[in-house]
Amino acid sequence: MTHQMVFGVDEAGKGPAIGPMIAAAVRVADRGHLPDGMADSKDLAPDRREDLAARLRSADAIAVGVCAITPDRIDDPETDMNGLAVAAHTGAIEAALADADHGSGADVDPPAGVCDACDTDADRFARRVTDACSHPIDVAAEHGADADDPLVGAASIVAKVERDARMADVAETYADAGYGDPGSGYPSDPKTRAFLEAHVDETGRLPDCARRSWATCRDVLADAQQSGLADFAGE
C-alpha cells in the first residue's frame, strides 16, 4: 500500500511597492489533519488569520515552508515576477518537504500539490515549478485555488500572516525616523505613498524596503527630483 503527502502553495505580496513577496507551502499526509476554517486569507479577519497560522505551524502532523523574495531580488533587471513567483513557490515547497521522505521508498508516492497559479497559463506555471523543484513532485496549478482548495487556503493564510509580520518589522524599523506608517505597502494605500514621499523628501532616496523598480517608487523619486529642480530654478 502506498501513501502520498499532499501540499498547497500560495503567495502574498506580489504587487506591493514595499516589502518582500512571501510564498508558503502547507504539507500534510492527510487532509483531515487541517484545522477547520481554512479559506482564502483575504476573506478572514487579521486575528483569525493569525490564530489559524499559529495552529498550522504548531501542529505535529502539518509541515509549513516559507520562502521570501526580497525587494533587491525583485528589482534585479535579470528577473521577472513570473519567474520570481516560480522561485518562491519552489522554495516554499522544498522547505515544507525538507523533513520528509520524498519518495525514496517503494511504498511512498512523490508528494502531490496544488499551487495558486501566478501565470495566466496555469499549466505552464505548474510545469515550471515542477522543473525547478529539486525533489520529485506532482504539481498542478489553478487560478483561484486559495478560495477553492482548503490546503491552498491554508498556505495563503500562512503567507499573508508572514508578509504582515515582515511589514510590521518595516514599520518598527522606521518608527522613530518621522516618515510615518508604511501601511500595507500597496500602491493604492495612501499611507504607503506618504511614507515613500516623506523618506525621499528627507533623504533624497527611496528606503531599503522599497521596490525601486516599481512605478510607484519611480514616480515618487521623479516627483521629488522635479520639485527640487523647480525650487532651485526659483532661487
| pLDDT over 90 at 4, yes or no | no
For 92-152, the DSSP string reads HHHHHHTTS--S-STTEEEEEEEEE--SSSHHHHHHHHHHH-SS--EEEEETTHHHH-HHH
Residues 65 and 148 both lie in one domain: yes
Residue 106 belongs to a domain: yes
Read off the amino acid at residue 151: L
* pLDDT (tens digit per residue) in 25-51: 999 989 999 999 999 899 999 999 999
208 plus 113 within the same structural domain: no
- Judge if 218 and 104 occupy the same domain: no
164 plus 202 within the same structural domain:
no
pLDDT of 229 above 80: no
Specify the pLDDT at position 143: 97
3-class state of residue 225 by DSSP: helix
CA dihedral (203, 208, 212, 215) positive or negative: negative
Local confidence band at 228 (pLDDT 50, 70, 90 cut-offs): low
What pLDDT, on the 0 to 100 scale, is given for residue 226? Answer: 77
**Distance (Å, rounded) from C-alpha 157 to C-alpha 56?**
9
CATH code of residue 224: 1.10.10.460
Residues flagged as binding site for a divalent metal cation: 10-11, 116
Query: What mean pLDDT is reported for the chain?
Result: 91
Across 107-125, average pLDDT: 91
* Same domain for 81 and 161: yes
Looking at the predicted structure, is the pLDDT value of residue 12 above 60?
Answer: yes
Residues 61 and 110 reside in one and the same domain: yes
The CATH number linked to 87 is 3.30.420.10
Residue ranges of the annotated binding site are 10-11, 116
The tens digit of pLDDT for each residue in 50-87 reads 999 999 999 999 999 999 999 999 999 999 999 999 99
CA distance 5 to 211: 36
Residue 225: predicted pLDDT: 79
Res 107 pLDDT > 80: no
Q: What is the mean pLDDT of residues 176-198?
A: 94
Q: Based on the structure, what is the number of domains in the chain?
A: 2
155 and 217 co-located in one domain = no
Query: What b/e readout covers 220-231, taking b as 16+ CB neighbours within 10 angstroms?
Result: bbeebeeeeeee
Domain boundary among 115, 140, 168: 168
Residue ending a domain, among 127, 144, 168, is 168
> Looking at residue 20, what is its pLDDT?
98
| Same domain? 14 vs 43 | yes
Residue 174 lies inside a defined structural domain of this protein: no
At 99, the pLDDT band (50, 70, 90 cuts) reads: low
Decide if 8 contacts 149 (C-beta within 8 A): yes
Domain that holds residue 204: 180-230
Q: Is the pLDDT of residue 11 over 50?
A: yes
pLDDT of residue 203: 94
Same domain, 199 and 106: no
Per-residue confidence at 126, pLDDT binned at 50, 70, 90? very high
Residue 227, pLDDT above cutoff 80 = no
Confidence of residue 224 (pLDDT cuts 50, 70, 90): confident
